[in-house]
């Protein structure tokens, strides 16, 4: 496929017609302030969302004729309905109106918590769906029901489905529907009849079948515990037992009362769930246990079937996360052999990835950081020695995702940072012919992509500094025209159009870390008057597996902060993602050290700018960023004008095993590392104004983190302020609560003199 040039795209793009408003849709008027072009915090959180339409779950039907997407409603930005576009007729159809077909049933606590771990807890309506193999129907979970929906919008509720049903899926051939409920795995025929539980009915309430354990969902990006064979003949099921996992009493403190939950939470240094893997037929017979090795204290990282269904591939990770083994399993006997292993570089760990693919010819595309950067390799059939692996993607840049594979043409598609670590482009290459990869997307954008199973159509989502996310479809071979799924042009009645004239473009640059490493920063400045100095809203995250600074759309919130007269600033410290192992691994057994020093380098850079008021640099962070606020205030008292810590980790012993031990090791073995990385011991060093914010029903960074810090600050006589949100979890947001959080922050800053010049 030839590289697409921006000048050509404008003249040849084919725009999908915008889906019409459904019958009975309310007329949505611009909230107060929009007409005047004044961007307020209230407007940032109101509907319609300022990012414009935000499609989710864009998919192609198996035959490629239909394109389906979840669209949020103009009057409720968090509610999603299912729409379909018939590529033959050129017509949009609302296939499922989530309001009309909703049962109104409250979600179970298990599903609420699973949605929190998937970071979609604030969404309503339809959050996922599956195409049936025949291309004529879709499985749509909605508020505890499972709907089988035809292309004409006709919906049938499946009988015998528990209100606790989660992880619903259709088998690859479309013969079965499966789900998890009441700790068991259920299977039913799509053609009709009530589903039955095919996993054993075990007496223990700590045993679960067919679902992912807590750390798999929260930290491994593995949200399922069941894997169907390609021909529907077997299903592999995870079984886990939480009996040895410690129980924490999680208090969901709400406005009208408090509910407590006895939650199995594997804190760092404590027991994990005992995990095993089983293979059985769809009726539950011929149950076989997979040999995962002699060490029971391992992580079940990934499970995949070979294309022919004759082999089950399992990725097994040791608890220290310094070794990852790829196992080939005979599904009829459970016997396993190690095909290849990845081992950590010195003072580092092995990162998990989904950038791999088992091919029909028996060969393997595999992602590895063995040379210090994420690359793709090709292993020929039956040859898995390190010397057999052929490097497909030499530098520069790191491979961030394997998008798809066209096996007939030996082409694979992937995203990479390429020549610019602040961008992400889509590339294609022929793995049988060494040579330079072909870039398929334009410089200046941050792109993500997905493909159909055959690797024939490419769905690209992109954004840029002044352009909210766009989604388009192109053929992988470069033929035909670009089809916009959502062009999202900021013109006409686009929600952000009234603010585009006042939009402030970011600038980018680098500062030097203590060892000379270049650290990338992004800055957005307000309209400034010569000779005046301006306060800085210094936002940070700082944790691993995240890159904050890039050329993507920053969103309206940053613009609203700048509209108040603040400079908005971010810098990526060592330990953050997409710069290679050497850049990420300095936090090994040393969280809260190099990240804090690198953020201080950002502060030093800011204070040298003639338009920055060096006495008015306020820091803000949430989650790991909240932890960073506390560590930064403790490390450099007096350096910052004020600090805001949202939902902070304060003691790493309170956080979970898989995340914490990956970077910090086991606290039973290296207690001194945990002592250095905590925030409680040095709380008395905080002398700058501090605002502490936390949702009181947080199940991720549990509220105990903040109460421990609150108690220590009080015991040391350290003044601070706090704002707590009853009933809210790790994400404290919404049309009313979002503005409340941010108005609280700016009132706090004003109270301490961190204000723009007059």
Cα angle vertex 724, ends 721, 730, to 5°?
120
The angle that helices 624-635 and 594-607 make with each other, rounded to 10 degrees, is 70
Joined together, the tokens standing for residue 324 give 């990852």
Residue 530 DSSP symbol: T
- The answer to whether 567 and 526 have CB atoms below 8 angstroms apart is yes
Joined together, the tokens standing for residue 508 give 């980018």
Catalytic member of 623, 656, 682, 688: 623
Distances (CA, A) of 395 to 376, 379, 575: 11, 19, 20
Cα(284)–Cα(234) distance, rounded to whole angstroms?
Answer: 9
HEC states along 435-446? CCCEECCCCCCE
Cα(548)–Cα(570) distance, rounded to whole angstroms?
Answer: 7
Cα(545)–Cα(719) distance, rounded to whole angstroms?
Answer: 34
- The answer to whether 662 and 589 have CB atoms below 8 angstroms apart is no
Single out the residue of 409, 393, 431 nearest to residue 477, CA to CA: 409
Single out the residue of 158, 103, 109, 153 nearest to residue 125, CA to CA: 103
Question: Buried (b) or exposed (e) across 273-311, using 16+ Cβ within 10 A?
Answer: bbbebbbbbbebeeebebbbeeeeebbbbbbbbbeebeb
Q: Within 13 Å and on the Cβ side, how many CA atoms surround 540? A: 39
Residue 623 known to be catalytic: yes
User: Which residues are registered as beta bridge partners of 239?
Assistant: 209, 276
Cα(213)–Cα(249) distance, rounded to whole angstroms?
Answer: 18
Contacts of 530 (CB under 8 A, 6+ apart): none
Cα(153)–Cα(2) distance, rounded to whole angstroms?
Answer: 38
Instruction: Answer whether the bond into residue 527 is a cis peptide, omega within 30°.
Output: no
Neighbours of 453 (CB within 10 A): 11
Residue 494 known to be catalytic: no
Chain centroid, CA 574 distance in Å: 20
Single out the residue of 237, 41, 245, 208 nearest to residue 657, CA to CA: 245
Lay out the sheet containing 166-170: strands in order across. Answer: 166-170, 176-181, 184-189, 196-197
- The answer to whether 419 and 434 have CB atoms below 8 angstroms apart is no
Tell me the torsion sign for CA atoms 684, 602, 443, 413. Answer: negative
Tell me the torsion sign for CA atoms 550, 551, 553, 555. Answer: positive
Contacts of 200 (CB under 8 A, 6+ apart): 209
User: Which residues are registered as beta bridge partners of 67?
Assistant: 60, 85
Catalytic member of 81, 97, 682, 698: 698
Joined together, the tokens standing for residue 715 give 């015991």
Catalytic member of 208, 378, 520, 730: 730
Cα(116)–Cα(436) distance, rounded to whole angstroms?
Answer: 41
- The answer to whether 588 and 663 have CB atoms below 8 angstroms apart is yes
Residue 81 known to be catalytic: no
Cα(688)–Cα(681) distance, rounded to whole angstroms?
Answer: 17
Neighbours of 243 (CB within 10 A): 13
Catalytic residue numbers read 623, 698, 730
């Amino acid at each position: 496929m030839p590289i697409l040039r921006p000048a050509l795209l404008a003249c040849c793009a084919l725009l999908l017609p915008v889906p019409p408003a459904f019958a009975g849709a309310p007329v949505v008027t611009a909230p107060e302030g929009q007409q005047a072009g004044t961007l307020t915090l209230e407007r940032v959180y109101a509907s319609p969302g300022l990012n414009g339409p935000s499609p989710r779950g864009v998919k192609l039907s198996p035959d490629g004729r239909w394109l389906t997407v979840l669209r949020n409603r103009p009057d409720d930005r968090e509610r999603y309905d299912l729409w379909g576009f018939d590529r033959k007729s050129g017509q949009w159809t609302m296939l499922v109106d989530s309001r009309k077909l909703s049962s109104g049933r409250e979600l179970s606590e298990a599903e609420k918590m699973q949605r929190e771990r998937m970071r979609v807890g604030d969404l309503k309506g339809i959050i996922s769906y599956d195409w049936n193999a025949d291309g004529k129907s879709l499985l749509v979970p909605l508020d505890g029901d499972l709907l089988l929906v035809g292309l004409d919008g006709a919906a049938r509720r499946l009988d015998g489905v528990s209100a606790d049903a989660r992880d619903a899926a259709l088998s690859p051939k479309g013969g079965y529907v499966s789900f998890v409920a009441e700790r068991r795995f259920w299977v039913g025929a799509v053609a009709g009849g009530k589903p039955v539980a095919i996993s054993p009915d075990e007496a223990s309430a700590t045993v679960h079948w067919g679902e992912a354990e807590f750390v798999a969902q929260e930290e491994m990006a593995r949200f399922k515990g069941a894997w169907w064979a390609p021909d529907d003949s077997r299903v592999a099921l995870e079984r886990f037992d939480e009996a040895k996992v410690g129980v924490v009493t999680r208090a969901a403190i709400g406005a009208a009362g408090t509910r407590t939950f006895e939650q199995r939470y594997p804190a760092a240094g404590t027991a994990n769930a005992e995990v095993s893997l089983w293979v059985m037929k769809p009726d539950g017979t011929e149950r076989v246990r997979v040999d995962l090795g002699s060490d029971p204290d391992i992580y079940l990282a990934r499970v995949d079937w070979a294309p022919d269904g004759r082999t089950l591939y399992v990725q097994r990770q040791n608890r220290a996360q310094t070794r990852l083994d790829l196992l080939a399993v005979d599904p009829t006997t459970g016997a396993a052999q190690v095909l290849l292993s990845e081992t950590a570089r010195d003072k580092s760990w092995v990162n998990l990835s989904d950038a791999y693919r088992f091919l029909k010819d028996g060969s393997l595309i595999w992602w590895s950081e063995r040379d210090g950067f994420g690359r793709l390799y090709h292993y020929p059939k039956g040859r898995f020695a390190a010397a057999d692996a052929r490097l497909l993607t030499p530098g520069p840049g790191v491979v961030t995702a394997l998008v798809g594979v066209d096996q007939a043409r030996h082409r694979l598609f992937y995203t990479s940072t390429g020549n610019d670590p602040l961008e992400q482009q889509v590339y294609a290459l022929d793995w049988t012919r060494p040579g330079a990869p072909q870039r398929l997307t334009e410089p200046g954008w941050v792109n993500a992509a997905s493909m159909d199973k055959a690797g024939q159509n490419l769905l690209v989502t992109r954004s840029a500094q002044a352009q909210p996310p766009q989604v388009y479809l192109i053929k992988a071979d470069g033929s035909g025209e670009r089809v916009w799924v959502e062009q999202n042009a900021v013109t006409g009645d686009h929600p952000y159009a009234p603010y585009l004239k006042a939009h402030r473009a970011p600038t980018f640059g680098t500062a030097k870390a203590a060892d000379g490493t270049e650290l990338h920063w992004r800055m957005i400045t307000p309209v400034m008057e010569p000779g005046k100095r301006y306060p800085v809203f210094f936002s940070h995250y700082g944790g691993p597996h995240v890159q904050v600074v890039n050329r993507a759309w920053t969103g309206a919130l940053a613009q609203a902060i700048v509209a108040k007269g603040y400079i908005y600033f971010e810098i990526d410290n060592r330990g953050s993602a997409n710069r290679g192992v050497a850049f990420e691994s300095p936090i090994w057994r040393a969280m809260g050290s190099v990240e804090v020093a690198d953020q201080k380098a950002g502060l030093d850079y800011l204070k040298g700018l003639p338009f920055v008021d060096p006495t008015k640099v306020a820091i803000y962070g949430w989650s790991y960023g909240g932890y960073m606020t506390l560590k930064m205030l403790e490390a450099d008292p007096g350096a910052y004008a004020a600090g805001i810590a949202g939902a902070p980790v304060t003691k790493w012993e309170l956080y979970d095993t898989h995340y914490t031990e990956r970077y910090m090791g086991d606290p039973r073995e290296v207690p001194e590392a945990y002592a250095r990385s905590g925030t409680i011991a040095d709380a008395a060093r905080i002398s700058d104004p501090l605002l502490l914010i936390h949702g009181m029903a947080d199940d991720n960074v549990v509220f105990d983190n903040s109460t421990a810090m609150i108690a220590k600050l009080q015991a040391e006589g350290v003044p601070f302020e706090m704002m707590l949100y009853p009933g809210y979890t790790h994400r404290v947001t919404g049309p009313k609560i979002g503005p409340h959080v941010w108005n609280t922050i700016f009132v706090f800053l004003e109270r301490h003199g961190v204000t723009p010049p007059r």
